[in-house]
Amino acid sequence: MKLTQADFKKRRDRLAEQMGSNSVAVIATRAEMYRNRDADYKYRADSSFYYLTGFAEPEAVAVIETFAQGEAYRYTLFCRERNREMEIWNGYRAGLEGAVEQYHADQAFAIHELDQKIVPLLLNKSKLFVRLGQTKKFDAEVGGWLHKAKAMQRQGGDAPQQIIQIDSIIDEMRLKKSAQEIELMQIASNISAEAHTRAMQTVKPDMMEYALEAELNYIFGKNGCVPAYNSIVGGGENACILHYVENNKPLKDGDLVLIDAACEYECYASDITRTFPVNGKFSPEQKALYNIVLDAQLAAIDATRIGNNYKYPHEVAVKILTQGLVDLGLLQGDVDELIESEAFRQFFMHGTGHWLGMDVHDVGSYKIDEDWRAYEAGMVVTVEPGLYVAPDDETVDAKWRGIGIRIEDDIVVTENGPLVLTKNVVKTVEEIEQLMAS
């Protein structure tokens, strides 16, 4: 399943409608990123730019103009011109013709003419929607265009009077996913679930963390996907480093391994974490902590419902985790007081979830004015509680030290309650042990 140009057009229609009359929106894609001598990182378009255009080439800027009268708007795409020699070296370009014919721009100009050609598009508009504060280079370019437009005052031109962050419109559009977007995220989730299943089936003591990462990458790659973020494959105490990405240590018999890895499909991300025993069997301590995290996760998923506020699943998870830590003797005291004083943060120091979409940490405000916003149908959020006992934590019995656990799934808020996109990968102790024994 892929989106069509008709789908991207509908998004531009909605943006234009919200901009109001006599306005202009300018959105640029991301720059290519240098890795080291003559080698770039594989290119990935800016998510909001791609959301509106479906155009995946670098060096492109989209402009949408509304007019004083009528509902029609004009969509201009600045992009790279076709160039036989450059295309022999670096690959196909749609060019100006392709921008119009394949990508349905009303007109297209060469990107190297941006500075000259964009100024007339901004002249005498009342509002300019743009994304400032992303890169200094683009901020300076916008400043230059405004300066040029203002200099035209004696010829009857002027710069837009109001500058508005375009993200205020696009982020809100992206936050609530359409049925098609959910379908794409379901595909990404299914592939990622398959990758985690394969990891559970192939892990063995003494395997290197990167070798296990390669098993995940094989499934992503053979499905035409790339990782949505740097994979975390942390054995034993490495699981207690929240953003561990070195993945270069051997996996030890008797340890758990935490894998936080998932792919993106057609620029839509998934985000899965599973934690399982390297040798296929949980120890009593691992199992005890694991089941607390699982209980917290299941309850938090169930709390991800229309009308509940964004923080509510976190509060539900914190309560269960804190109670569990007290029951096992890792924390002492009254559960409510331990929550109030945030004593649980010794073992659970991150949030329980984030918006998920084209970006793994997706756009969309978490608060409206002062208050955490309420869940609405079509929002997608992760639920990912964890417990991490530092290897040098002298406040707890030695048997708990160095155990790190997180369980993460992707949830769509629906009229019928939480829909778990990532359900294809097992997560109870029994299911995991059974899969790993087979």
Can residue 245 be called a binding residue for ligand GLY (CB under 6 A)?
A: no
Out of 255, 260, 266, 362, the only residue in the binding site for Mn ion (CB under 5 A) is 260
Distance CA 148, CA 116 (A): 9
Q: What is the DSSP string of 179-195?
A: HHHHHHHHHHHHHHHHH
Q: State the CB neighbour count (10 A cutoff) for residue 406.
A: 23
Q: Are 426 and 436 in contact (CB under 8 A)?
A: no
Can residue 260 be called a binding residue for ligand GLY (CB under 6 A)?
A: yes
Can 147 be counted among the known catalytic residues?
no
Distance CA 144, CA 131 (A): 15
- Give the list of residues 6+ apart from residue 261 with CB closer than 8 angstroms, or none: 192, 195, 196, 213, 216, 227, 231, 232, 233, 272
Can 32 be counted among the known catalytic residues?
no
Binding-residue pattern over the window 126 to 155 for Mn ion, x denoting contact by CB under 5 A = ------------------------------
Of these partners, ligand GLY, Mn ion, none, which one is at the site of residue 229 (CB under 5 to 8 Å by kind)? ligand GLY
Of these partners, Mn ion, ligand GLY, none, which one is at the site of residue 12 (CB under 5 to 8 Å by kind)? none
Binding-residue pattern over the window 261 to 280 for ligand GLY, x denoting contact by CB under 6 A = ----------x---------
The DSSP H or E segment spanning 172 is helix 167-175
| Token representation of residue 388 | 């991490």
Distance CA 18, CA 73 (A): 12
53 vs 275, beta carbon nearer Mn ion: 275
Half-sphere exposure of 129 (CA within 13 A, CB side): 23
| Token representation of residue 116 | 């000259």
CB of 98 to ligand GLY, least distance (A): 35
**Which of these is catalytic: 92, 243, 370, 392?**
243
Can 112 be counted among the known catalytic residues?
no
Pairing verdict, β 409-414 and 417-420: antiparallel
Can 271 be counted among the known catalytic residues?
yes
Q: State the CB neighbour count (10 A cutoff) for residue 427.
A: 22
CB of 304 to Mn ion, least distance (A): 14
- Taking each helix axis as running N to C, give the angle between helix 429-437 and helix 179-202, from 0 to 180 degrees, rounded to the nearest 10: 60
Can 260 be counted among the known catalytic residues?
yes
Residue (of 304, 272, 263) closest to 419 by Cα position: 304
**Which of these is catalytic: 237, 271, 359, 433?**
271
Can 12 be counted among the known catalytic residues?
no
Residue (of 59, 231, 236) closest to 141 by Cα position: 59
The region of 183-191, 192-200, 365-373, 380-388 touching Mn ion under the rule CB under 5 A is: 380-388
| Token representation of residue 233 | 């494959």
Of these partners, ligand GLY, Mn ion, none, which one is at the site of residue 237 (CB under 5 to 8 Å by kind)? none
**Which of these is catalytic: 147, 253, 361, 397?**
361
323 vs 352, beta carbon nearer Mn ion: 352
**Which of these is catalytic: 93, 350, 373, 401?**
350
Can 350 be counted among the known catalytic residues?
yes
Can residue 242 be called a binding residue for ligand GLY (CB under 6 A)?
A: no
**Which of these is catalytic: 406, 409, 410, 433?**
406
Q: Is 201 helix (H, G, I), strand (E, B) or coil?
A: helix
Q: Is 244 helix (H, G, I), strand (E, B) or coil?
A: coil
Cα–Cα distances (Å) from 81 to 44, 58, 95, 288, in that order, read: 19, 12, 4, 61
**Which of these is catalytic: 50, 73, 103, 388?**
388
By CB under 6 A, what part of segment 194-233 binds ligand GLY? 229
29 vs 270, beta carbon nearer ligand GLY: 270
Residue (of 356, 338, 351, 360) closest to 384 by Cα position: 351
CB of 382 to Mn ion, least distance (A): 4
Can 406 be counted among the known catalytic residues?
yes
Out of 271, 359, 362, 409, the only residue in the binding site for Mn ion (CB under 5 A) is 271
Can 141 be counted among the known catalytic residues?
no
**Which of these is catalytic: 213, 384, 410, 433?**
384
Angle at 125 between CA 119 and CA 129, to 5 degrees: 85
| Token representation of residue 50 | 């791609």
Q: Is 382 helix (H, G, I), strand (E, B) or coil?
A: strand
CB of 371 to Mn ion, least distance (A): 23
Can 38 be counted among the known catalytic residues?
yes
Can residue 360 be called a binding residue for ligand GLY (CB under 6 A)?
A: yes
CB of 272 to ligand GLY, least distance (A): 9
- Taking each helix axis as running N to C, give the angle between helix 136-150 and helix 114-122, from 0 to 180 degrees, rounded to the nearest 10: 60
By CB under 6 A, what part of segment 380-419 binds ligand GLY? 384, 408
CB of 86 to ligand GLY, least distance (A): 36
Can 104 be counted among the known catalytic residues?
no
Q: Using CB under 6 A, count the residues that bind ligand GLY.
A: 7
Residues lying near Mn ion in the complex (CB under 5 A) are found at: 260, 271, 382, 408
- Catalytic residue numbers? 38, 243, 260, 271, 350, 354, 361, 384, 388, 406, 408
Residues lying near ligand GLY in the complex (CB under 6 A) are found at: 229, 260, 271, 354, 360, 384, 408
